[in-house]
Chains A and B, each alone.
Chain A
Amino acid sequence: MPTASSVHIGTCGFSYPEWIKAGIYPPKTRSFQMLRHYSRLFSVVELNYTWYQMARADTITRMLAGCDSTLLFCAKLTRTMTHEIATDWPDQARAYLQGMAPLLARKRLLSVLVQLPPTFRRTPQNRTYLARLFDTLKPLPLAVEFRHRSWAQNSVFTGLTERGVTLVSVDAPPLPELFPPLEVITNPALFYLRLHGRNTSGWRSGSKQQQFNYNYTQAELRQWSAARIPRMRAACTTGVILFNNHVAGQAVRNAQALAQLLHPSSASHNV
């Protein structure tokens, strides 16, 4: 049984010009330098640009050449397989696999995040699609984040466990339709926690700047660090904790604060 797993803490995305103004990156930092600066702060990053555009091996190779060799990655699955499911999705999935090859080859990929929209409810059609998608992406380590509560069922968790797919635990505003903040472990190799902030009024604004504009208090972070994260750590060999409240660099400060809470004596964010 896994015990006292290594936990990697980081943020969702790293290329935010506003982080220069927030003092996270030095003044006049250019986009291609941001990842190098980021890798001095955290041991893991979630690539969110792979949601907007198909992952390409040449782009990822260029990115790897420009950052610290110890930085680990999680990558979002492209929107054409999650939010705008195209008829040629199997081709897209194969293209994604090819795009991720450099990360896999260098053993720098912790997980691929399949983040599904609130409109993706648990219907027979969607269940079939998801099963086929997981099968097609099988060579990749997978994690799935649901945004609709219809997926919060034991049968779903069992199915994920059988496939070795990590169920993402989320911290989000307490809205009725949203997937609840559970700590169900479906893959003993990895737990994956995403903290989106709790901005209830901004969540459905349609603007990411409002949706993810939230600063966690120490008390809120302790809700996770005191019992929930230790329980997940005890059940898994590795863990990833990522903050998505990127506005004004709040994600970075919250991530650093959580790292301190989890391991007060450690200066590193790989605790």
Chain B
Amino acid sequence: MERRIIHLNIANFCVAVEQVRDPRLRNRPVIIACPGPRAVVHDMSDEAYSEGVRKNMLLTAALRRCRSALVLPPRPELYRKALGSCLKQALQYTPLVERSSGNGHLYLDVTGTHRLFGPPPDIGWRLRNTLRRDLGLDPIWSIGTSKLIAKVASRLVKPRGEYIVGGGEEQSFLNPLPLQLLPGISPADLLRLQHINIHLVHQVTALSVQDLHVVCGRRAHRIYHLVRGIDPRPVHPVISRKQDISHAYTFSPDTNQEAVVRAALTTLTQRAGYDLRQRRLGCRRAAVMLLYSDGVSVTRQAAVSLPVCDDTSLQQLVSAALYRAWNRRIRLRQLTVTCSLLCHPAQQLSLFTAGDMRVQKNRQLSKALDTIRSRCGDGTIFRGAQYPHINTSIPLP
């Protein structure tokens, strides 16, 4: 059966939620950013965008471009609640709803729900009406045969509207579009293709994988599929996923000193490990996102087969992800650590031996540190690896 995916996108999600709470914020430039000397723009309204403000830009630079902007601190809990309400409405149509990166994107797989709820455009329209009426949010809704096609369609009509792409029309839909509209095409890919005067999708579809390999190297296969609208990724239902644990740190000033970066990484890892142990969970995958001074962000991840939750094992996993991501000489502005694929760290104990003593010791040490932190506070005890960057008041995103 042909897949039908609905993409709901609430443009400038954080600002949209703030505007619902305070209608006086409508039709004026608003920037969401953490207060602080090295703060970066987290989100902005259309008015601020049209003045040149962009995400991840330094707040000071953003305010130079848009002096009349109102700066608000981010309220993650509020945004989480608003997205949760959207999710609740979406779940009435299908259990397959994916919440993408918590920034106002929802994917619904409505394949096969036709006889229950009518055609997919009707679902998209009704859902948008419900969100508008009940939550005051006005999402873009678009329909495609994959997450890729639906997302590109949303980008075409942003900041508001709708777009329906029929099954089999993917290629003709994508052909005239500029390459930067395709999610998954990195700035580096774009640059390489622009060097040989390729700007549109249909110019890339004329190339074979071998041709693309000459230009884009290892990325050739991925790009070959992207420009043809081939995206078999399933919609991951939210209900089966535990909430990821994520912590971020903004360097002040920007740095590329390894000791400082490693110390910050250790601090973030300790926090993530503490959260995991408090929830009696382990993680099988860790991701590190680096935001460079020039606004480029790179995310890489590392995974293990058995869930880990002690600080040392987690540190190894996160370090592996860090060195996969850190391959530029540009200074770093922000570092984010995310633990995902969370599950209970159950394991079969050995009947005769006590197991690896070092692992046991690490677990005991993590447990002891947790106890001290619970009793005396977060800033009372540190590992040596956190030096020279011992900072207890890490601002969370």
Residues of A within 8 A of B (CB): 13, 15-18, 30-33, 49, 52-54, 58, 62, 79, 207-209
Contacts and interface: CB of A to CB of B under 8 A. Distances in A.
Main secondary structure of the interface of B (DSSP, over half): mixed
Contacts of A49: 121, 164
Contacts of B125: 52, 79
Contacts of B115: 18, 209
B122 A17 contact: no
B118 A17 contact: no
Contact of B116 (A32, A54, A209): A209
A52 B164 contact: yes
Given A31-B169, A208-B119, 6 more contacts: A18-B115, A30-B168, A31-B166, A32-B169, A49-B121, A62-B173
B172 interface: yes
B202 to A, nearest CB: 13
Contacts of A52: 121-122, 124-125, 162, 164
Contacts, number: 51
A18 B114 contact: yes
B2 A30 contact: yes
B167 A32 contact: yes
B323 interface: no
A53 B120 CA distance: 13
Contacts of B2: 17, 30-31
Contact of A15 (B116, B124, B166): B166
Contacts of A18: 114-115
28 contacts: A15-B119, A16-B114, A17-B1, A17-B2, A17-B114, A18-B114, A18-B115, A30-B167, A31-B166, A31-B167, A31-B169, A32-B166, A32-B167, A49-B164, A52-B121, A52-B122, A52-B125, A52-B164, A53-B162, A58-B176, A62-B169, A62-B172, A79-B125, A208-B118, A208-B122, A209-B115, A209-B116, A209-B117
A58 B153 CA distance: 14
A70 to B, nearest CB: 21
Nearest to B125: A52
Interface in B114-149: 114-119, 121-122, 124-125
Interface residues of B, number: 23
Contacts of A54: 161
Contacts of B121: 49, 52-53
Interface of B: 1-2, 114-119, 121-122, 124-125, 161-164, 166-169, 172-173, 176
Contacts of A13: 119
A15 B120 CA distance: 11
A215 B116 CA distance: 18
B163 to A, nearest CB: 6
Nearest to B168: A32
Given A16-B114, A208-B118, A53 B1 contact: no
Contacts of B162: 52-53
B168 A33 contact: yes
A88 to B, nearest CB: 11
A79 B117 CA distance: 19
Contacts of A207: 117-118
B114 A53 contact: no
A9 B395 CA distance: 67
A209 B168 contact: no
B17 to A, nearest CB: 23
Contacts of B168: 30-33
Contacts of B117: 207, 209
Can you list the 7 inter-chain pairs with the closest CB atoms, starting with the nearest?
Answer: A32-B168, A31-B167, A31-B166, A208-B118, A52-B121, A30-B168, A30-B167
A151 B6 CA distance: 37
A81 B162 CA distance: 15
A52 B164 CA distance: 9
Contacts of A209: 115-118
Nearest to B176: A58
A200 to B, nearest CB: 19
Contacts of B124: 52
Nearest to A13: B119
Contacts of A53: 121, 161-164
Nearest to A56: B163
Most buried by B among A32, A33, A53: A53
A31 to B, nearest CB: 4
A33 B116 CA distance: 24
B119 A16 contact: yes
Nearest to B169: A32
B114 to A, nearest CB: 5
Nearest to A65: B172
A54 B168 CA distance: 20
Nearest to B142: A53
Contacts of B1: 17
Residue of B114, B119, B124, B164 with most chain A CB atoms under a 10 A cut-off: B119
